[in-house]
């Protein structure tokens, strides 16, 4: 038999950490969403943030990536003003899932 208490605690801590990171990503997206052009807003997805490291934003194509990259200084400044510790934002093109 396994030690269910230890496994449950570990699983709970892992899930708690994931929930915290997802909430942080949503908060960051809520901060930058008003700054994004309406047509671009629905195309941008926030990645899982890591403290002290870059935050990734995912877009479906290179045109959206180019537009988003032009906005990075504004987005980064807004995040930092809102108290989010984001040293850098990376823009990545992610092919749509089929």
Distance of CA 91 to the CA centre of its chain: 10
- Give residue 11's pLDDT band: very low, low, confident or very high (50, 70, 90): low
Predicted pLDDT of residue 59 = 96
Which helix H or strand E contains 91, and what residues bound it?
strand 89-93
pLDDT attached to residue 27:
95
Domain residue limits, the chain: 4-93
For the segment 35-62, the average pLDDT, to the nearest whole number, is: 92
Instruction: Using the predicted structure, report yes or no on whether residue 12 has a pLDDT greater than 80.
Output: no
Instruction: Give me the residues paired with residue 89 across strands.
Output: 55
pTM: 0.81
Fold of 4-93: GMP Synthetase; Chain A, domain 3 (3.30.300)
Pick the more confident residue, 9 or 48.
48
What is the tens place of the pLDDT at every residue in 71-94? 999 999 999 999 998 999 999 999
pLDDT of the residue at 7? 64
Contact between 45 and 95 under an 8 Å Cβ cutoff? The reply is no
Mean pLDDT of 58-71: 96
User: Would the pLDDT of 14 be above 90?
Assistant: no
């Amino acid at each position: 038999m396994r030690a269910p208490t230890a496994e449950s605690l570990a699983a709970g801590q892992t899930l708690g950490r994931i929930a915290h990171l997802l909430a942080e990503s949503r908060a960051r997206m809520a901060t930058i969403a008003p700054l994004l052009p309406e047509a671009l807003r629905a195309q941008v997805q926030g990645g899982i943030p890591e403290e002290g490291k870059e935050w990734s934003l995912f877009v479906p194509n290179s045109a959206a990536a180019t537009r988003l990259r032009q906005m990075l200084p504004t987005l980064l400044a807004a995040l930092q003003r809102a108290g989010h510790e984001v040293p850098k934002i990376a823009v990545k093109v992610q092919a749509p899932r089929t």
